Structure 1
Amino acid sequence: MSMLESGCQKPRRQAASGCLGVLRLPSLFCALMRTPPQPPRGPTPPRGPASSQRGPAAAKPAAPKAAPRRPPRRLPAWLARAQRLLLSPGQEWQAIAAEFATPSSIYSRYILPMAAIGPIAATAGTIVFGVRNSIAGSYAMSAGDAVTSGVLEYGLNLLGVYGFAVLIEVLAPSFGGQRNRAQALKVAAYSSTPYWLGGAVALFPKLSLIGGVLSLYSIRLLALGLPPLMKAPRDKSAAYTLLASIAGVILALIIGPLTGVVVGR
């Protein structure tokens, strides 16, 4: 190789190496500009509760709850029993027969409030209208005498129902029944329900006789109550009811005039 050729080759090599350097610059620049690798992510933290929306898309507030309804008032136990005796006497007599009761509990739970209806009504009616009605007719009565008569009538009612129970008990063996004072008092007390409720009519003296008519339903209750409570056979219960009813009517007729005698009428 001649000197000329070797001199010509050097510039070529230098030019080639310069071209390669120029070509490597963009790749080096790109390498420098690359994003460094991100560190590994840890566990994603739990998200909190979603914030409530605001504006027109927000949920509407719940409608206010209606005020709870008050439960209906219940009747007193003695008045509820009187109602059941009038509306469903057969079922109520069966329930009464199965109940354990003593004479004192029968008096305190039923007889004491029921026996007071008639005397209270008669006393109030006499004070307002100044007149008292009886089987013998109407007569004027002062307020003081009306109160005295009412108290006396109430006491006689309490004694009369016990006397009625004694008669029912005494008559029981004659009609195949069983003697039982507590059961007899149940019959006397609960069968007298129409008689005692009818006494409320005495609040108006001129309507007092209507109360006497209403009290006749007591005979029906007596007929239904004697067989299950006094264990009287069905075939003898009619005669048993008849005699017991007569005894009850006699006691009722005694109570009325007796109060008039004590008051001085």
Structure 2
Amino acid sequence: MRPTEEWNTIAGEFTTAAPIYVRFLLPMAAIGPVAATLGTVVSGERNGIGGTYTMSAMDAVTGGVLEYGLSLVGVYLFAVLIETLATALGGQRNRVQALKIAAYGSTPYWLGGVLAVFPKLSLLGAAFALYSIRLFAAGLPPVMKAPRDKTAAFTLLVSLAGALVVLLISAIVRIFV
């Protein structure tokens, strides 16, 4: 895998938000919620940031649907934050390019969601998101036209913004389920 080369290709691809959502985000955002729902239905437990708690099958399904929907909204919010940060740090203001970073840069996070099928391992899946930091660092300069001298700060801020969105989604799901 050569993230820098891939990001250069992605940066030059003309697209809109719709194909990114339909071809990539709809299936990828489902991995974690589906795995968590299956794991919770089987075990009766869900493991979250606040610890392990019991959950009924109906609540697991409701939580999974809510988490999926919020993930699709959350990635758009993440793109807005990336776009705003790009503008502040001398990069280009382009929502679709920011969505590319939010969607494709978060691939390890999406894939790590599969571990949620085993509630005790669900937080380990979040460790996959650490590789997203590497992908953000490689993707921000070519995709968002971020100045090279600001890449470290941009990467840090984007990573924190992504973590904030994930925590917000988790908190909302926990409140309602």
State TM-score, norm by structure 2.
Answer: 0.97
Tell me, in whole angstroms, the C-alpha distance in 2 between the residues paired with 1:186 and 1:171. Answer: 15
Higher mean C-alpha displacement, 208-217 vs 110-119: 208-217
Aligned residue identity for 1:89: P
> What does 1:112-127 align with in structure 2 at a 5 Å threshold?
112-127=26-41
Secondary structure of residue in 2 paired with 1:133: strand
> What does 1:160-199 align with in structure 2 at a 5 Å threshold?
160-199=74-113
Q: Larger C-alpha radius of gyration, 1 or 2?
A: 1
> What does 1:45-124 align with in structure 2 at a 5 Å threshold?
87-124=1-38
Q: Are the counterparts in 2 of residues 123 and 150 from structure 1 also a CA contact under 8 Å?
A: yes
Aligned residue identity for 1:168: I
Q: Which has the higher helix share?
A: 2
Q: Are the counterparts in 2 of residues 177 and 231 from structure 1 also a CA contact under 8 Å?
A: yes
Tell me, in whole angstroms, the C-alpha distance in 1 between the residues paired with 2:165 and 2:41. Answer: 26
**Please, which runs of 5 or more residues in structure 1 have no aligned partner?**
1-86
1:236 maps onto 2:150 in alignment: yes
Give a deviation string over 1:64-117, Cα, whole Å, max 9, x none: xxxxxxxxxxxxxxxxxxxxxxx3212211111111110111101111110000
Structure 1 residue 173: Cα displacement: 2.2
Secondary structure of residue in 2 paired with 1:178: coil
Tell me, in whole angstroms, the C-alpha distance in 2 between the residues paired with 1:261 and 1:176. Answer: 38
From 52, 59, 79, the counterpart of 1:145: 59
**Please, which runs of 5 or more residues in structure 2 have no aligned partner?**
none
State TM-score, norm by structure 1.
Answer: 0.65
Q: Which residue of structure 2 lines up, in the alignment, with residue 247 of structure 1?
A: 161
Any runs of at least 4 consecutive aligned residues in structure 1 with deviations exceeding 4 A, and if so which? none
* Higher relative contact order (Cα pairs below 8 Å, separated by 6+ residues): 2
Aligned residue identity for 2:151: S
Structure 1 residue 171: Cα displacement: 1.3
Secondary structure of residue in 2 paired with 1:101: coil
Aligned residue identity for 1:134: G
Cα RMSD between the aligned structures? 0.9
Aligned residue identity for 1:100: F
Give identity over the alignment, percent: 65
Tell me, in whole angstroms, the C-alpha distance in 1 between the residues paired with 2:25 and 2:109. Answer: 12
Q: Are the counterparts in 2 of residues 195 and 211 from structure 1 also a CA contact under 8 Å?
A: yes
Number of positions where the alignment pairs a residue of Structure 1 with one of Structure 2: 177
Q: Which residue of structure 2 lines up, in the alignment, with residue 207 of structure 1?
A: 121
Q: Which residue of structure 1 lines up, in the alignment, with residue 137 of structure 2?
A: 223
1:256 maps onto 2:170 in alignment: yes
Aligned residue identity for 2:44: G
